[in-house]
Structure 1
């Protein structure tokens, strides 16, 4: 064999070996990132304190399955407490911020009597996270749009909103956005004001559904640049009759993926909370008939 051919064969072997090594390390990194994301965004139970729940997120970083969206629902002595948030940016850089905010919420939701106390705890946790990362780290200037909800036993809904989209409510055969006041700035962008009065949404009635989401849902576009029509999709859901929280989630994500052709430019998350308390057993059975997967067709991985 000629020396040139030998060198070519050796070089090709080295390149192929390096390529296999890089792909193996990349798969490992993706697996670790996916495990970390799953540990942070723990699967919600289908039912909690009389409410039907369903949530999922799609990451703009498809390979790593890691996004900057966050959500959690906790039953406390103060009522059902919900957080929905969106960290600036996405991917691994946002994961630490998600961890800091969610970790603080999971403690503060139980400890703080007032929703304002929960928000201040989240602000302090975010500030500590930024300081420990140092001024040159990408997380040092992170901010988070955040929506806090508290649903009392009598159905009253109290909110604090830091620059996040207001949810939609499905009631009967209708769907409409619900908003209370002008939101505060995103958490971390500016210090919170001295006074943090909670705003009230309409009282939830048995069978009502709240659909929370991040900007990535509203900003999703099709090939012609048209935004995802969330309001018409939810109106169609409402007209179709009672659905479980899981079914609502599946319909929204199916429409979202169809609209975008499965292209992702930003993280997107949806959280559905349905008031199943005091519903007659037949109505509850019809609404909970769907037993499909909690996440749509593994699109979050």
Structure 2
């Protein structure tokens, strides 16, 4: 499932809660088609094969796609129609009707019983659908809190984000991204929490909260990464449990300052960002990747900053390994670099649209893992957007 965060109004979110999942159109018309087939078969069968008995199944067929009131109505219709067919002498070449024949009376009773069961089934299905709609509504709100919509434009930067869930009904997971305008430029984060489920969501929420707060105050990326690392360590200690050493996050911190055409990158065990230029696509990796967050205790020298040129018309793609670990029917991994080179430079939104459709077409059994991507394009040879007063100015109340 893809999320682009295009809906921002509360009414749109409420619609997710109130609108029940609609069954396919063919399923809604299935009871009508079923009765039509029986009508076509009835004149063709001998009197010993009363096809009208098959009307017993009409309430159950109706219960698949309709509510209890419609199923109850279908039950009344089925019993009445059985009586019509049984009492019509001309049907199937009969010379007399069998309206009150014991076999037909048994059929009426069975149809009524099946109709009662079908009504109960439809009521249960309706309650389940409403519960699913409520769960999806809560998940939608949780996603909007965890993964806030990134701005489509920050100064002379254009941004787009993509989130693909491996589960059809999932809304949130352990992949995350964020873009924050700060006094030091636009700071970006993309990460992938180890594991699945609620623990991964809690870890992602803690990491995003720490990043959003510290991004405005920490003067450089290594200090910012160290701040987030400390927050993750503290969070892991509070949670406790046997998996304390396994709650880690691979992440990339990036910074595009407002006073120069460069991008600074601190990699914490994550797939390196890709720099897309008109004449090349390359990984921003100089072999200085640090350990994943919450594993900093394993090494002494943690985080290194790599600086790269970033000029107007160029694009930066940050992504999680759900993209490169997607496999085709032969088990071959998705060739991201080859695809990007063959497509050439694309606007951010078009790039993610192409990537989305190509991933779904490439994957043999659907996506095996959640996937997140964040793309940033420098669109004008101007200073980046003003991100507000510096930290010192905010503390002193006077210009620095």
Q: Structure 2, unaligned stretches of length 5 or more? A: 1-106, 383-400
Calculate the TM-score normalised by the size of structure 2: 0.62
Q: Secondary structure at the match of 1:116?
A: helix
Greater Cα radius of gyration, structure 1 or 2: 2
Kindly indicate whether residue 321 of structure 2 is the aligned counterpart of residue 247 of structure 1: no
Q: Distance in 1 between matches of 2:178 and 2:211?
A: 8
Structure with greater proportional helix content: 2
Q: Does 1:105 align with 2:208?
A: no
In structure 1, distance between residues paired with 2:220 and 2:184: 8
1:180 to 247, 271, 286: 286
Give CA deviations for 1:70-101 in whole Å, capped at 9, x if unaligned.
11111211122111100112344321111111
Q: How far apart, CA to CA, are the structure 1 residues paired with 2:229 and 2:287?
A: 20
TM-score of the aligned structures, taking structure 1 as reference length = 0.81
Distance 1:16 1:67, change over 3 A: same
**1:121-179 Cα deviation digits (max 9, x unpaired):** 2112222332333316x788421101111122212222211110001111123212221
Q: How many residues align?
A: 275
Alignment of 1:249-268 (within 5 A): 249-260=352-363, 263-268=366-371
Whether 2:138 is the aligned partner of 1:32: answer yes
Q: What residue number does 1:276 align with?
A: 379
For residues 163 and 173 of structure 2, the distance between their equivalents in structure 1, rounded to whole angstroms, comes to 8
How far off its partner does 1:46 sit?
1.6
Unaligned segments of structure 1, at least 5 residues: 280-301
Greater relative contact order, per chain length (Cα 8 Å cut-off, separation 6+):
1
Distance 1:46 1:139, change over 3 A: farther
Do the aligned residues in 1 keep the contact of 2:207 with 2:232 (CA within 8 Å)?
A: yes
C-alpha separation between the residues in 2 aligned to 1:132 and 1:20?
Answer: 41
Q: Does the aligned pair in 2 maintain the 1:211–1:270 contact within 8 Å?
A: yes
Q: Aligned equivalents of 1:115 and 1:56: distance in 2?
A: 24
Match of residue 70 from structure 1: 176
The aligned counterpart of 1:298 is none
1:170 lines up with 2:276 in the alignment: yes
Shift of 1:15: 5.6
Deviations 1:226-249, CA, capped at 9 Å, x for gaps: 2111111110222xxx43211222
Which residue does 2:38 correspond to in 1? Answer: none
The alignment status of 1:142 with 2:247, answered yes or no, reads yes
Name the CA distance, whole Å, in 1 between partners of 2:274 and 2:246.
Answer: 30
Q: Which whole-Å CA distance do the structure 1 matches of 2:199 and 2:139 have between them? A: 11
Mapped to 2, the partners of 1:215 and 1:103 lie a distance apart of 22
CA contact (8 A) 1:69 1:268 kept: yes
